[in-house]
Amino acid sequence: MPPPPPVNPAVASVPPVPKPVHTTPGKRRPRALVRRRARRLRSLRVPLLVLMLLAIAATLVLASSLLIPLVLAAFIALGLNPIVAGLSRIYVPRAIGSLLVMLALGAVVAGSVSALSTPAAAWIKQAPAVVHELGYKLRRMTRPLTEVSHAASQSLAGIGVAAPPAVQIAPPNGFSFGSILQVAPRALAEALTVALLVFFFLTYGHQMRTRLVTASPGFGYRRVALRLVRGIQLEVSRYLLTVTVINVCLGLLTALVLWGLKVPDPLLWGGVATLLNFMPYVGAISNTLLLLVIGLLNFNSPAHALLPAACFAFMAAMEGNVITPMILGRRMRLSPVAILVWLLIWGWMWGIPGALLAVPMLTCVKLITEWLPGWEWFARMVER
């Protein structure tokens, strides 16, 4: 038997060349389809988000008659919840405590309305005469500028330039109480609805919170949900109660200053200042202009006429820049741009109630997004 041929070491060290595996196009096609589908979904994300926001806005506008009392009742209940919780800690049942708090709040509101309704009705009734008198005083104060403008127009007419035609201002229509009588039953029904909702929120709100927490799937999720709900409720309640107390104090101080300046109906303008101060910046500017008009109507001296508006502007500036940040802290401060955009959005959707509820809603959303993972960017964006 002949010996085997010798094996060359260089040839033996070379590994065998694998045969090429030919992949068919059918195996690549599913992956390409998945990638193409994912790219199409990413391209549709922004249009779908815009459509979702438009659908939410349309729903909020259409359901405003249902949502406004519900949101208002929720905010009132959150603001009064610390008082009811304090009563429950001294062994007062929540139902009795809620009833006592609601009765006290109803007495305060009824007393305020009865005290302010008479001067408010008088001002509304004499609104046409007030507008006429205001126009007369403004024309008298701007008479020097009018004379200069008239002389300039005559000089321009002498060189061939015609003066602009005079604009005829239609006289204001008289005020009628028929519109108020038409909306009175609906306003009364909404007020009773809000009061009933506030009572049930104060009485059974803690049970709803407990059921919401126990609906979580696991013990760890329940702990996180409990801490989240308790933290949000505590901070929102503290914010609403503190802001309400600050606004009421500002309104009382405004009424006291106006009484010292001999402005008629100081309690009415103090109440208006309390309500308008729930809209930062916009409310202060609106109330300053209102007091400027009141001063022009009641005083002949320009310095005395400007004094009520100047005093309120100083008090509002101190409240917004010193007192409120010192009490609530820097964490509660909001960006003026975010406030104005939020006011425009909710004022467009819900009118005057939306404008009054806009800033409390923005603050609550900011506090909630600070606690929710992945939404901290919104809290940082609206923060000042």
How does pLDDT run across 71-93, given as a tens digit for each residue? 888 888 888 888 888 888 888 88
From the list 280, 278, 260, 258, the residue with the least C-alpha distance to 268 is: 258
Identify the pLDDT of residue 241.
Answer: 83
Q: Which residue has the higher pLDDT, 102 or 161?
A: 102
Identify the pLDDT of residue 51.
Answer: 87
Identify the pLDDT of residue 169.
Answer: 46
Q: Which residue has the higher pLDDT, 187 or 96?
A: 96
Count of alpha carbons within 13 Å of 52, Cβ hemisphere only? 6
Identify the pLDDT of residue 136.
Answer: 63
Q: What does each C-alpha distance from 101 to 204, 270, 351 come to in angstroms?
A: 15, 24, 29
Q: Which residue has the higher pLDDT, 144 or 278?
A: 278
Identify the pLDDT of residue 5.
Answer: 57
Q: Which residue has the higher pLDDT, 50 or 177?
A: 50
From the list 305, 302, 301, the residue with the least C-alpha distance to 258 is: 305
Is residue 223 a contact partner of residue 213, using CB atoms and an 8 Å limit?
no
Q: What are phi and psi of 189, to 5 degrees?
A: -65, -40
pLDDT band of residue 56 (cuts 50, 70, 90) is confident
For residue 210 the two structure tokens come to 């407990």
What ranges do the domains of the chain cover? 64-140+184-382
Q: What are phi and psi of 162, to 5 degrees?
A: -75, 145
| pTM for the structure as a whole | 0.67
Share of the chain above pLDDT 90, in %: 4
Q: Which residue has the higher pLDDT, 142 or 234?
A: 234
* Residue type at position 329: G
Q: State the distance between the two ends of the chain, measured CA to CA, in whole angstroms.
A: 98
Identify the pLDDT of residue 174.
Answer: 46
DSSP 323: I
Identify the pLDDT of residue 140.
Answer: 64
Mean pLDDT, residues 241-260 taken together: 90
Is residue 112 a contact partner of residue 271, using CB atoms and an 8 Å limit?
yes
**Out of 216-230, 294-308, 342-356, least confident range:** 216-230
